[in-house]
Amino acid sequence: MITFRKFFTATSPATFEQPWHLKLIGSYLEKVERREIQNLAIFTPPQHGKSTTVAERYPAYHFARDPLSHVLVCSYSDDLAVRASANCKTIVQSDWWQETFNYPVGKATEARWMFVVPGQDGRYSCVASGIAGGITGHTADLCVIDDVLRNRMDALSPTIRENIWQNFTSSVESRLPKNGRIVMITTRWHADDLAGRILTRAKENKKASQWTVLVLPATNDSGEEAYVLDTRTGEQKFLAKYDALWPSRFPRDILDQRRADLGEGIWSALYACRPSMGTDILFPVESWGTYKGIEEDQLSLVVTAWDCASKTGNGNDYSANVVLGRMNDGRILVLDVWKSKVDFSQLPGIILERYRAVAARYHTVPALVIEDAAAGTQAIQLFQSAHPLIPLVVAKPGGKSKIVRAEGVTVFTRSGVVLLPQQAIWRDSFVNECAEFPLGVHDDVVDAFVHGCKVFVSSGDFKSTEFLLTPGSTRPYTNEDIIAEFLENQPAFGICLSPELDRADEGDFE
């Protein structure tokens, strides 16, 4: 049987160069054909031949070996998938292909077509669709996925990422037989994109589908940026160093210029093939200061801020709580961080319990901040009716994106006035989630932190005074009155705050 390299040459213009990385990709596609690999993910930069090789020529090569097979071609849109299918159909209808393999094409559109060969079961040989489109009802032996995220903004949408995941698991994987194969080429926009979820699942559950991952970034200066990963064994084979992946088309000086033009965040996703951010990180790791201990009389205001979730499934967000304290000199301390997946029926009790714990620990009346969204809206209504003495701050997004809201509080972190405890079980998780925002898997703790900091931006209504008049009240209550009421009944299931302050005893931190 003809090799993929020869097939590629025969079906390409005479002037088209086949660089080493496309030859390498071809060798792995042959392994898929020989069933040495069942699932193959390929990460390469744009305009480096991945769609031409994988989405257009590989299905034609596959049909040359098995014309009775069925192939799905998926992308973020019908148009892109249909374009690949149409180009593949052009190849299989070419004089060379027909003279070599003699499998004529019968019923055909650009999106769906079939071969006319003995044993054909009447189903389309090739079906092309957006991943959320007309896949249902079409089974396949091979699925080729070509970029299911349109751009960075789509990648930043948890809803879009979740919809893609649901379509992949319910509409793509379910259409494949036990020995069905998947080949995916994609831009790694986000740690929680389709590729990220697939690889996380493979790592955490060895009974799940396992993958071979071929990572070919635009540059490989260290010799550790380009590699082949086997998720089943965890083995990572590094490729030799190179200045430019395709130097005749994209020499190093052009790549360096493009990197400077794009910025580190987009370069990292498009050309470095990794979903991380560089100099444009909103909350760099080095931006946090450190404190060793704190006395309650050093704090002028304490805030306990919440980002609330209502469901506990694997794909759902966490409920997160960040406790902040403003010192008399203006510095801000992150006193405690907690997150967990809890059902909404339990959440108000946990919020109240932790509020009482903060009040007892610092002998003050903290401001309670809850975002007016999703489960937070219900929690706000409960606290307004059941606990009117609590100074409640309703955080309203106001149509602003999470990124814009976060940028509004970077004035604190960039000026070095936000301090973390020297030791805390949650410290590394908090720092990492903030550093990965907005491309990280989770942003619940970041949201809570931002909500809390917003109080310090305009905190005139929450200054530490001798008494506090809450909305709806007819008389002022002293701090002592309010604290006494909060502590009158001890929480039924223990105080979540650590008595040592510098660590959290509960919550889902690794």
- Which pLDDT score, from 0 to 100, does residue 466 have? 31
Single-letter amino acid, residue 411: V
Higher pLDDT, 507 or 382: 382
- Which pLDDT score, from 0 to 100, does residue 54 have? 97
Whether the predicted pLDDT of 506 surpasses 50: no
Give the angle 67-69-70 at the CA atoms, nearest 5°: 125
Residue with tokens 């990794």: 274
Q: From the DSSP assignment, how many helices (H) and strands (E) are in the chain?
A: 18, 19
Top mean pLDDT of 7-16, 31-40, 185-194, 325-334 is at 31-40
* pLDDT, mean of residues 133-161: 82
In the chain, the percentage of residues whose pLDDT exceeds 90 is: 50
Task: Dump the DSSP string for 251-295.
Answer: -HHHHHHHHHHH-HHHHHHHTS-S----TT-SS-GGG-EEES---
Higher pLDDT, 497 or 195: 195
- Which pLDDT score, from 0 to 100, does residue 458 have? 59
* pLDDT, mean of residues 392-418: 84
Single-letter amino acid, residue 344: F
Q: Distance between CA atoms of 132 and 164, rounded to whole angstroms?
A: 7
Buried b (16+ CB within 10 A) or exposed e, 3-12: ebeebbeebb
**Span 244-257, pLDDT tens digits:** 999 999 999 999 99
Q: Distance between CA atoms of 67 and 120, rounded to whole angstroms?
A: 8
Buried b (16+ CB within 10 A) or exposed e, 477-510: bebeebbeebeeeebeeebbbbeebbebebbebe
Higher pLDDT, 102 or 480: 102
**Span 361-379, pLDDT tens digits:** 998 899 999 998 878 999 9
Q: Distance between CA atoms of 437 and 282, rounded to whole angstroms?
A: 7
Sign of the Cα pseudo-torsion (379, 381, 384, 387, in order): negative
Higher pLDDT, 277 or 288: 288
Higher pLDDT, 500 or 333: 333
Whether the predicted pLDDT of 474 surpasses 50: no
Q: How is residue 265 written in tokens? A: 């965040």
- Which pLDDT score, from 0 to 100, does residue 419 have? 96
Higher pLDDT, 484 or 31: 31
- Which pLDDT score, from 0 to 100, does residue 467 have? 31
Residue with tokens 């955080």: 395
| Domains of the chain from N-terminus onward | 19-270 (3.40.50.300), 285-488 (3.30.420.240)
- Which pLDDT score, from 0 to 100, does residue 402 have? 80
The gap between the terminal CA atoms of the chain, to the nearest Å, is 51
**Span 43-59, pLDDT tens digits:** 999 999 999 999 999 99
Higher pLDDT, 238 or 162: 238
- Which pLDDT score, from 0 to 100, does residue 507 have? 42
- Which pLDDT score, from 0 to 100, does residue 460 have? 40
CB 198 within 8 A of CB 56: no
Top mean pLDDT of 112-116, 137-141, 318-322 is at 318-322
Nearest partner of 173 among 153, 204, 216, 202, judged by Cα: 202
**Span 78-108, pLDDT tens digits:** 999 999 999 999 999 999 999 999 999 988 8
**How would residue 410 be classed by pLDDT, with cut points 50, 70 and 90?**
confident
Q: Distance between CA atoms of 12 and 56, rounded to whole angstroms?
A: 11
Give the angle 74-442-459 at the CA atoms, nearest 5°: 135
Whether the predicted pLDDT of 475 surpasses 60: no
**Span 431-466, pLDDT tens digits:** 988 987 876 667 899 999 999 998 887 544 333 323
- Which pLDDT score, from 0 to 100, does residue 132 have? 80
**How would residue 240 be classed by pLDDT, with cut points 50, 70 and 90?**
very high
* pLDDT, mean of residues 414-420: 92
Q: How is residue 106 written in tokens? A: 């019968």
Query: DSSP alpha helices (H): ranges in 132-209?
Result: 152-155, 158-167, 194-204
Residue 90 backbone dihedrals phi, psi, to 5 degrees: -60, -40
Higher pLDDT, 281 or 129: 129
- Which pLDDT score, from 0 to 100, does residue 87 have? 94
- Which pLDDT score, from 0 to 100, does residue 227 have? 95
Reading phi first (left if > 0) and then psi (alpha if -120 to 50, else beta), residue 503 is in: beta
- Which pLDDT score, from 0 to 100, does residue 210 have? 96
SS3 210: coil
- Which pLDDT score, from 0 to 100, does residue 186 have? 92
